[in-house]
Amino acid sequence: MPASGGVLRYLKAKGSVDARSVNVQVREACVRALAELPADRPLRVVELGGGAGGAFRYWMSLLVPFQRVEFTATDRDGGLLEAYREEVVSLAGKLGISATGDDPRRLRLDDGGRMIDLRLREAVLPEGFPREDEGSFDLMVAQSFWDLVPPGTALALGRHLLAPRGVFYATLTFSGGTRFAPPHELDRQLLHCYHASMGGERGGDPYAGERLLGHVRMPGSGFSELATGRSDWRVVPTDQGYLADEKYFLLTVLGFIEKELLASTEVRDDQLDWWMGIRRRQLADGQLSYAARQQDLAARRDD
Ligand SMILES: C[S@@+](CC[C@H](N)C(=O)[O-])C[C@H]1O[C@@H](n2cnc3c(N)ncnc32)[C@H](O)[C@@H]1O
Residue range 275-282: mean pLDDT, rounded: 98
Calculate the dihedral angle through the C-alpha atoms of 167, 172, 175, 177, rounding to the nearest 10 degrees: 170
Q: Is 26 inside a domain boundary?
A: yes
Give the chain's mean pLDDT.
96
Q: Is pLDDT above 90 for 72?
A: yes
216-234 tens-digit pLDDT: 999 999 999 999 999 999 9
Residue nearest to atom 27 of ligand 1 (CA): 51
CATH of the domain at 124: 3.40.50.150
Q: Is 245 inside a domain boundary?
A: no
| 133: Cα within 13 Å, side-chain hemisphere | 19
Q: Is 187 inside a domain boundary?
A: no
Domain hosting 81: range is: 5-175+204-235+294-301
Residue nearest to atom 19 of ligand 1 (CA): 125
Considering only residues 201 and 144, tell me which one the structure prediction assigns the higher pLDDT. Answer: 144
Distance 10 CA to ligand 1 centre (A): 12
Q: Is 224 inside a domain boundary?
A: yes
Distance 154 CA to ligand 1 centre (A): 13
Length of the chain: 303
Per-residue pLDDT band for 2 (boundaries 50, 70, 90) equals low
Per-residue pLDDT band for 189 (boundaries 50, 70, 90) equals very high
* Number of other CB atoms surrounding residue 202 within 10 Å: 14
Question: What is the tally of structural domains in the chain?
Answer: 1
Q: Is the shortest distance between the CB of 69 and ligand 1 below 6 Å? A: no
Listed residue (198, 199, 286, 227) closest to 24, CA to CA: 227
Q: Is 284 inside a domain boundary?
A: no
Q: Is 142 inside a domain boundary?
A: yes
Ligand 1 atom closest to Cα of 47?
6
102-140 tens-digit pLDDT: 999 999 999 988 999 999 999 999 889 999 999 999 999
* Model pLDDT, residue 113: 84
135-166 tens-digit pLDDT: 999 999 999 999 999 999 999 999 999 999 99
Q: Is 147 inside a domain boundary?
A: yes
Helix, coil or strand: residue 44:
strand
Residue nearest to atom 13 of ligand 1 (CA): 49
CA separation, residue 247 to residues 173, 235, 283, 284, 285 (Å): 22, 9, 7, 8, 10
Q: Is the shortest distance between the CB of 21 and ligand 1 below 6 Å? A: no
Q: Is 286 inside a domain boundary?
A: no
